[in-house]
Amino acid sequence: MRRPVRRANEMSAPISGTEGYAREADALIERYERISAAEAHQSVQHLIPLAPSRILDIGAGTGRDAAWFAANGHDVVAVEPTDELRAAAKRLHPSPNIEWLDDSLPDLSVLRSRAEKFDVVMLTAVFMHLDDEQRRRAMPNLAALMREDGVMIMSLRHGPVPAGRRMFAVSAEETIELARAHGLHPVLNFRSASSEEINRLAGVTWTRLAFVKPGAAAVS
């Protein structure tokens, strides 16, 4: 995605999909940090390698998850387009094993220019911020960032959209079909209630999806 040029004393328009996050950054930081990464990702921990690996955390927010990965011996590239969240994450979770990038879906142009591959690609509460066309543009870029036998783990939010946010109704079935079209094999499809009481009362649910990128031996 081509970024708008900022002039002195001029605020740029928010990156598509990040609307509302800068304004609510302080409150969101408190909310996100209240739940541990281990608790938040309990249902997918078996998919994260035990051996030190390269992990890409897209939409890394406050850095909670990136810090968890780093503490477990992984090297992390954390992508966060919202300046306020990225700055807070660097302050809250300083680590030599985390590299922070200002980049965004669907194109991830900064990251893709580096031609890196990752063992794990994480998208926590990200994909539903993209509209249909953006999701179709994003998926081949995500697949290209995965190493052979690598895994992509994502969560999709279902339910009422908070005021000021940009979200779309995205089904697991649609996402699985899109991933299959780019050579990814689904290995997890799990739906659950929100871990936050306020969201549970509002009827918010989440779907956890995971995909693997088969290696050459599996394809042949």
The domain locations on the chain are 25-219
Taking the C-alpha atoms of residue 96 and residue 218, their distance in angstroms, rounded to an integer, is: 35
Q: Does domain 25-219 have CATH number 1.20.1600.10?
A: no
Taking the C-alpha atoms of residue 142 and residue 134, their distance in angstroms, rounded to an integer, is: 12
Taking alpha carbons only, the member of 205, 187, 208 closest to residue 195 is 205
Taking the C-alpha atoms of residue 158 and residue 169, their distance in angstroms, rounded to an integer, is: 7
Lookup: tokens for 165: 């946010």
Query: What confidence score (pLDDT) does residue 204 get?
Result: 86
One-letter amino acid for residue 97 of the chain: N
Cis amide prior to 106 (ω within 30 degrees): yes
Taking the C-alpha atoms of residue 89 and residue 76, their distance in angstroms, rounded to an integer, is: 13
Per-residue pLDDT of the chain (220 residues; tens, 9 = 90+): 334 333 333 344 556 555 545 666 667 777 778 889 999 999 999 999 999 999 999 999 999 999 999 999 999 999 999 898 899 999 999 999 999 999 999 999 999 999 999 999 999 999 999 999 999 999 999 999 999 999 999 999 998 888 787 899 999 999 999 999 999 999 999 997 776 666 666 678 999 999 999 985 555 4
10 Å CB burial of residue 88 (0-12, 13-18, 19+) is buried
HEC string of the chain?
CCCCCCCCCCCCCCCCCCCCCCCCHHHHHHHHHHCCHHHHCHHHHHHCCCCCCEEEEECCCCCHHHHHHHHCCCEEEEECCCHHHHHHHHHHCCCCCEEEECCCCCCCHHHHCCCCCEEEEEECCCHHHCCHHHHHHHHHHHHHCEEEEEEEEEEEEECCCCCCCCCCCCCHHHHHHHHHCCCCEEEEEEEEECCCHHHHHHCCEEEEEEEECCCHHHHC
